[in-house]
Every structure is written in C-alpha cells, then in structure tokens.
C-alpha cells in the first residue's frame, strides 16, 4: 500500500507532537521494562505515556527496514489502561509507509497485589500485511513475514487476546504472556507467548539527585515466539527470539530501552535490534485545560 499523503503526515505529526511535549518539562517514568512482554503494571490514572518503539532488521532475501510503533498509553483509572498505536516503517529500496493502527485495553481484575497478578488484554488491529513492527509473534510467523513489500495492499484486521501474568519478588519482575490472535477473515486462531524477567541494578535509591545512578538502570531478558494455530498447535514451523533488555529512566526526563533480539531457529530472523524512547505526562487532561 503506497501511502496517502494525509496518512503519511500522521506519524510525522505525532512525532512533532511528542517532541513538543518533551519541552513541557514534566515528570516521567517508565512502566514496563520489556518490548513485547507486558507486566501487570498499568499506567497511573490520568497520565499519558508517549513512546516510540522501533525495530530494525535486515531479513534474508528482503530489504533492511526500520519500523516504529508510536504508542499513546493512557491510564483511565487504577485498573484500566488504554493504548493507541500508530505503526509506520521505512524499507530500503521501497518506501516509507503508515501501516495502520492498534487499539489496546488492559484490565486488572484483582484489586490487590498477589503472588501472581493477572491482567486481561484486548486488542483490535487494522494493519497492512507488510507491517514489521513485530509487537507480537504468533502462529507460524516466520522470517518470510518480513518479505512483503511496502506497496502490498492487503489489510489484516485482527483481534488479539492476552492473558498477562506477572509477579514482583525481591526486586525482580517476572512476566508471562499467552496470546491468542484471530484474523477477522476466514483464518483460524493463532497462539504465541512472551516471557520476561528484569531487575533494577540497585534495590535502594541513593539520597542524592543523579541521572546515572544504578537505580535508574534495569537489566533483564525477554523471549517470545509462536505456538502454532488452532489445528496445528505446537512449535513446528514457528519462530522464536531471545534477547537482553536494558532500560534507563532519567528522573524527570525520558526513558530509554534497547534490546538486541536473536533468532533462535531457522524460521527466525538472525538479529533484530529494538530501541524505545518514552515520556510520561502526569495529569494530561488537567494540563491540557491549562491547570498548573
């Protein structure tokens, strides 16, 4: 699908908006320490987090690409977070396109902290088949999914359900996600998983203000992949990735995260590199109304 001029302006506008918001000088903090895996931490009520999640790779037999999902995450209340993603990508020797959008909702059914904390996740996505943002791997997704050209016109409209399980223990977060995705066309349910573990480098905060203190950094790892389809459930012809994740939260500033993802079998791309920058705005709508 070649991009319509008005559509091409959309991610650009959002980036400009994000940069403008960066100048607002408001506090920020990161919610998640992963790229694909979700923990049970939701956005704080009234806060808006703007994040650019990018991935770059050079697939076998395909053109190198950079895909970005621009994320707007809003805390509706203490147990419900909603998100809008705008996806776009640039592929070498092809073009730059807006590939579609995703709307997500995460709901925490239990109001207290438990040993394992469940979160229910619902998503609708309307994307170009060429979308390479790779926010999940399901079914028999393989490195061939990186090959469709940007000019491809097919749209996929899908619903996605996730069961998110997550625990915090002795400074560690351990999260497990189980995904079921259904193309609204005549296709069967596809399944996938994502696992993550991370920990800040320090368990106590130092009394002095600092940007490079150990407590501002977190190290972890995540692994994700497909689990086949309804009629071919299992690991056959699926792809899987594993990689370390490092996060840096600048106090009252943006957060950065990066992760090299290594393909674990011949169906996976050898190396993908992920990078993310996020910024959180407290009491977003109060600020829009001009309240201090």
Partner 1 sequence: MKLHRYAAGLLVLAGMAFAGAGDGGWMKKVPAKDRVRPNPLADDPGATAAGGKVYAQHCSACHGDNAEGKVGGKHYRPNLHSHRVKQATPGELFWILTNGSLRNGMPSWSRFPELERWQVVTYLKSLP
Q: Sign (positive/negative) of CA torsion 289, 30, 240, 166?
A: negative
Instruction: Residue 156: name the closest of 143, 170, 175, 139 by CA.
Output: 139
When the beta carbons of 153 and 291 are compared against partner 1, the nearer one is: 291
- Residues 150/130, Cβ–Cβ less than 8 Å: yes
Beta strand residue intervals within the chain, DSSP E = 48-57, 65-77, 80-91, 96-107, 117-128, 155-169, 172-183, 190-200, 217-229, 232-233, 240-249, 255-263, 271-281
When the beta carbons of 152 and 287 are compared against partner 1, the nearer one is: 287
Q: Taking the CB of residue 20, how many other CB atoms lie within 10 A of it? A: 9
Binding segment for partner 1 (CB under 8 A), chosen from 58-66, 104-112, 127-135, 262-270, is: 104-112
- Residues 95/109, Cβ–Cβ less than 8 Å: no
- Residues 70/15, Cβ–Cβ less than 8 Å: yes
Q: How many residues bind partner 1 (CB under 8 A)?
A: 38
Interaction pattern, residues 239-258, with partner 1; x per rule: CB under 8 A: ------------xx------
Q: How far apart are CA 160 and CA 192, in angstroms?
A: 11
When the beta carbons of 201 and 271 are compared against partner 1, the nearer one is: 201
Interaction pattern, residues 185-224, with partner 1; x per rule: CB under 8 A: ---------------x--xxxxxxx-----x---------
When the beta carbons of 5 and 292 are compared against partner 1, the nearer one is: 292
Should residue 237 be labelled a site residue for partner 1 when binding is judged by CB under 8 A? no
Binding segment for partner 1 (CB under 8 A), chosen from 82-90, 95-103, 170-178, 233-241, is: 170-178
Binding segment for partner 1 (CB under 8 A), chosen from 50-58, 148-156, 169-177, 179-187, is: 169-177
Q: How far apart are CA 118 and CA 178, in angstroms?
A: 11
Within 24-83, the residues that bind partner 1 by CB under 8 A are 27, 29, 31, 39, 41-42, 44-47, 75, 77-79
Binding segment for partner 1 (CB under 8 A), chosen from 93-101, 127-135, 181-189, 279-287, is: 279-287
Distance of CA 45 to the CA centre of its chain: 20
Q: Which residues bind partner 1 (CB under 8 A)?
A: 27, 29, 31, 39, 41-42, 44-47, 75, 77-79, 108, 111-113, 168, 170-171, 173, 200, 203-209, 215, 251-252, 282-283, 286, 291-292
């Amino acid at each position: 699908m070649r991009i319509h001029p008005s559509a091409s302006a959309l991610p650009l506008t959002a980036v400009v908006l994000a940069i403008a918001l960066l100048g607002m000088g408001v506090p920020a903090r990161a919610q998640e320490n992963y790229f694909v895996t979700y923990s049970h931490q939701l956005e704080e009520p009234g806060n808006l987090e703007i994040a650019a999640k990018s991935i770059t790779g050079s697939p076998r037999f395909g053109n190198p690409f950079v895909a970005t999902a621009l994320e707007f995450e809003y805390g509706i209340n203490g147990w419900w977070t909603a998100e809008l993603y705008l996806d776009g990508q640039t592929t070498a020797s092809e073009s730059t396109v807006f590939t579609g959008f995703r709307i997500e909702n995460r709901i925490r059914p239990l109001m207290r902290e438990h040993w394992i904390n469940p979160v229910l996740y619902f998503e609708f996505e309307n994307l170009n088949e060429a979308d390479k943002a790779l926010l999940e791997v399901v079914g028999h997704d393989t490195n061939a999914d990186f090959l469709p050209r940007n000019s491809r016109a097919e749209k996929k409209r899908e619903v996605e359900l996730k069961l998110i399980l997550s625990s915090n223990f002795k400074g560690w977060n351990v999260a497990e996600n189980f995904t079921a995705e259904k193309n609204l066309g005549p296709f069967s349910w596809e399944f996938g998983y994502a696992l993550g573990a991370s920990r800040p480098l320090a368990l106590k905060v130092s009394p002095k203000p600092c940007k490079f203190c150990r407590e501002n950094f977190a190290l972890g790892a995540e692994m994700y992949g497909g689990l086949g389809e309804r009629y071919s459930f299992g690991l056959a012809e699926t792809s899987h990735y594993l990689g370390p994740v490092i996060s840096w939260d600048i106090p009252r500033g943006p957060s950065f995260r990066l992760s090299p993802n290594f393909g674990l079998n011949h169906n996976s791309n050898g190396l993908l590199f992920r990078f993310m920058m996020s910024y959180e705005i407290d009491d977003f709508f109060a600020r829009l109304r001009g309240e201090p």
